[in-house]
A and B are shown apart, each in its own frame.
Chain A
Amino acid sequence: KNQVEQSPQSLIILEGKNCTLQCNYTVSPFSNLRWYKQDTGRGPVSLTIMTFSENTKSNGRYTATLDADTKQSSLHITASQLSDSASYICVVSERGSQGNLIFGKGTKLSVKP
């Protein structure tokens, strides 16, 4: 069964610190992997998208990595800000699915002053 598992479930860090969120997936055949940020009460917003051949992609203070061999991805947030408080969702697309993306349950990040 195609699944996306994220850890930790929740995380609290102090403003200015770095953190890394993890994503493991069993989706096959693999097409691409995305990280989304979802603020409370809002829809998810795309941060990065990586295909099989890409192993790192950055978007400002966000850097995503992908190891397609071990089916693992991470999202690293540098110099966290209060506005980074949100849920971060890992999403994997199955090749040929046409659009049925498989979503993880997300990691809820709280950045404290």
Chain B
Amino acid sequence: GAGVSQSPSNKVTEKGKDVELRCDPISGHTALYWYRQSLGQGLEFLIYFQGNSAPDKSGLPSDRFSAERTGGSVSTLTIQRTQQEDSAVYLCASSVGLAEYNEQFFGPGTRLTVL
């Protein structure tokens, strides 16, 4: 595709339910990043992938959060037993290489609301 796509664009769920967020990076981009943007806050790093491996999971806020990437392309971010504080916009970005040196391209985000 022309850019990074994310689905769903909006997700409303009840507290305690599991949710799965999807990211399709730009074709050929080996690095993929997940961020969380809470209202009035800056983007918070969650996890990044280089290919299929995730060298840095330090940003995941709890063990309810997990992510995987298969085939070096699509990634899913799973939140188990959602809590109200998980409500935020979840952004995905990809880059041709590590983001320290390369431009990141962001998707439109998934707005998650936990009731």
Query: Could you list which residues of chain A lie within 8 angstroms of chain B, going by C-beta atoms?
Result: 4, 31-32, 41-46, 49, 89, 93-101, 103-106
Contact = CB atoms under 8 A, between A and B. Distances in A.
A98 B40 contact: no
29 contacts: A31-B100, A32-B100, A41-B109, A42-B109, A43-B4, A43-B91, A43-B107, A43-B108, A44-B43, A46-B103, A46-B105, A89-B43, A97-B100, A98-B48, A98-B50, A98-B56, A98-B99, A99-B56, A100-B48, A100-B56, A100-B58, A101-B100, A101-B104, A103-B43, A103-B44, A104-B42, A105-B40, A105-B41, A106-B42
Nearest to B48: A99
Interface of B: 4, 31, 33, 35, 40-45, 48, 50, 55-56, 58-59, 91, 93, 95, 98-101, 103-109
A46 B106 CA distance: 9
B103 A105 contact: no
Given A42-B108, A93-B100, A98 B55 contact: yes
Contact of A99 (B91, B98, B106): B98
A94 B99 CA distance: 11
A4 B43 CA distance: 11
Contacts of A105: 40-42
A45 B106 contact: yes
B60 to A, nearest CB: 12
Please report whether the interface of chain A is mostly helix, strand, loop or mixed according to DSSP.
loop
A99 B42 contact: no
Contacts of A42: 108-109
Contacts of B31: 99
Contact of B100 (A4, A95, A104, A106): A95
B112 to A, nearest CB: 14
A56 B22 CA distance: 37
Contacts of A4: 42
A7 B35 CA distance: 22
Contacts of B98: 98-99
Contacts of B109: 41-43
